[in-house]
Chain A
Amino acid sequence: MLTIPLNQIIDQDDFYRITFLPDLRPLVESMKRIGQSQPILVQPVSGVFYRIVSGFKRFWAAKELNWSDIRAETAEVDSEQPFSLFQKSLFENLAIRQLNWVEKAFVLQKLVQQFQIPREKIISEWLPILNIGKNQKWLVWLSKIPDYELIVKEAIAKDEITFDLFEFFPALSADDRVALVQFYRELKLGKNRQKEFFYLLRDVMQRDNTSMTHLLENQDVQQIVKAEDLALGNKVQKIRGILRRWRYSSMNEMEKRFREIVHSLRLPPGIQLLPPQNFEGDKFRMTFTFRTPEDFSGVVAKLQEITASGDLTALTSLWEAD
């Protein structure tokens, strides 16, 4: 066991590091009150300096507490190969906590690039260890994450981005990834909405040969995002409307025409008129509610009035909308 000055530890060396965005507060508090209970594991490099094998959080906590040194054990590189040290560090972490997605990605990237473990072995042995399905696609998608922009990695690590979107991120430009993450953060989108919005944006982007950043900078979208008088749920609904209008313009036009017709019928609040789903078919649906026989008679009278007026013929002209 050694006591090593903190300035002899190479701060930026991340050969063994998998920890990303840790919450240091409990550890800082603990080390402040009861000191360092476990030594960190280091490896001597270039004379007086050391590289951390495991114990990054303890090292960062010690720095935050302005300690001058830290207790450590040394691993001799001659007797222990780097890969076994990496495993030691990894399993020490896995034994006490869940790794976030970025940390899992770091592990996979190190296995591929640093330790050159065959892909088949990673898929069959290491993905299950990391609690990921044995599918080579996951290896491809996750291995890209370490290279993403910090804000994107932060959002992934904090589970703010659904993992269903990981497969699409490599194909996005850095600007698009950042713009999307910021957009999702501002709207605090749930995972299903994230997917829905992504698919709409992606399709419009590809169809119109534009970028996601360009779409998200759209004036109408930004006005809604920044509107102070709108509740978050309203913002999401309004932006969804815009994205669907971009993606499904003919359908949107038809919905608008249908709403105009319904509006012209001046239906009382209890009566609802609905088109066939996606306007496939020719059957409309009407629903109404009532409490009393008098209510019911009122509804019937209104329906008779509409029938007699001939206004319903507007519905059949809907299909001739060209």
Chain B
Amino acid sequence: MPYRKYIPEKIIVEKRVWELPWTQEILSRMKGLPVRKISTIEEEALACQKAVISPEESLKTLALAQQSGKFLKPCPGTSNYVCCGYYFLNIATNCDVNCTYCILQSYLNIPFMVVYTNIEDAFRETDGVLGAHKFPLYRIGTGELTDSLTLEHITHMSEKLIPYFAQKKNAILELKTKTTQIENLLHLEHNRKIVVSWSLNPDEIIRTEEKNAPSLKERLDAARKVDAAGYRLGFHFDPMIDYPNWESGYKDVIGRLFAAVHSGNIAWISLGALRYPAQMDRLIRERHPESKIVLGELLPGKDGKLRYFRMLRQRMFRKMVDWIHSHDPNVTVYFCMESPEVWKYAFREQVLQKCPLPGMLDRSVFEWAK
């Protein structure tokens, strides 16, 4: 199925953000759609819940709202597994790509596609955090609770974020996506402070588990254009799925990836095997009965989440590291939320002893940290 950009059926706008410039800018691009002023998205979500409106239906509503909590949060990581010290900038939440394995299915209380349009508050808050210099460097991403670029055609969010982060000396912004919405990025001055990342999987998995997302070829074509525009690139094989032809499938993706972009521009490649909270197992089976991911050899890990049996993960990661480094041994590869034992097996040595993960990633993107 060809990739189709998200088009809402209606828009709801919190009264308190109605006058904000970004709200009006977004509304001006969505002329013709029904727009309703509301009190808060929480109240609307409650009404949806009472009316038993399906998640798929709720997603057709775009909500423009005020972020009342914090925009910028450290990644909570997961207990007993190695974390990379990442920060999330939550300017939008929810995702229309509807991947079978997506954690957002069990995570979000607000069922709409939400954009927090008080973005000036986000910049103020980020200024405060970066200015405090609690850490020497900050790697910040907008792709935790949404796909970073899935609403780009509606919000032009990159035109706000990229100029802001391009000027920061101690921060890198990562835009993580599965989409091909990169046109807005190509003309922006990024000062090499932006990493544009794609989540990748073999086409067999994209067809069955990421049905609304662009194909692998489309993603790599987009990466090629961004590469040509001088951006740093990231790639995330997360989640990797164990399926009968996984070896040939993933090896093929690696080959195509290195054929598509300059490896010197790759900031990092992350690997993470399928994992999810135990309560999500039922959700996946109910919402995606055709998906076979729940039938993998998933067992409770040290954090209680279901994850592939350790030996399977080790095997997958070791092969992936070898394949990647056969193309370019200097590319930084890391694992997302993995145990030190698995790191050691996959790399054939305990690389974390030489340099902890946050430092390893900082060195990949901050020239002076090398």
Q: B-contacting residues of A (Cβ < 8 Å)?
A: 203, 206-207, 247-251, 254, 277-282, 319-322
Q: Is the CB of B341 within 8 A of A250?
A: no
* Contact A250/B295 with A281-B302, A281-B341 known, Cβ cut-off 8 Å: no
* Contact A280/B310 with A207-B292, A319-B345 known, Cβ cut-off 8 Å: yes
B29 CB-CB contact with A under 8 Å: no
A251 to chain B: which residues have CB within 8 Å? Answer: 297, 299, 309
Q: Is the CB of B297 within 8 A of A279?
A: no
Q: Is the CB of B299 within 8 A of A206?
A: no
B261-303 CB mask vs A (1 if < 8 Å, else 0) is 0000000000000000000000000000000101101011110
A247 to chain B: which residues have CB within 8 Å? Answer: 297
Query: What bracket does the count of chain B residues touching chain A fall in?
Result: 10 to 19
B310 to chain A: which residues have CB within 8 Å? Answer: 278-280
Other-chain contact of B295, A206, A254, A322 (Cβ < 8 Å): A206
Bound-complex Cα distance A279 to B345 (A): 14
Minimum CB distance partner of A322 in chain B? B315
Bound-complex Cα distance A249 to B297 (A): 8
Q: Is the CB of B309 within 8 A of A279?
A: yes
Minimum CB distance partner of A319 in chain B? B345
B301 to chain A: which residues have CB within 8 Å? Answer: 278, 280
B311 to chain A: which residues have CB within 8 Å? Answer: 250, 254, 279, 319, 321-322
B345 to chain A: which residues have CB within 8 Å? Answer: 319-320
A300–chain B nearest beta-carbon distance, Å: 29
Q: Is the CB of A250 within 8 A of B297?
A: yes
B294 to chain A: which residues have CB within 8 Å? Answer: 203
Other-chain contact of A250, B300, B302, B309 (Cβ < 8 Å): B309
Q: Is the CB of A248 within 8 A of B314?
A: no
B80 to chain A: which residues have CB within 8 Å? Answer: 281
A151–chain B nearest beta-carbon distance, Å: 27
Bound-complex Cα distance A250 to B315 (A): 12
Q: Is the CB of A322 within 8 A of B312?
A: no
Other-chain contact of B339, A250, A277, A280, A322 (Cβ < 8 Å): A280
B339 to chain A: which residues have CB within 8 Å? Answer: 280-281
Q: Is the CB of A206 within 8 A of B292?
A: yes
A200–chain B nearest beta-carbon distance, Å: 11
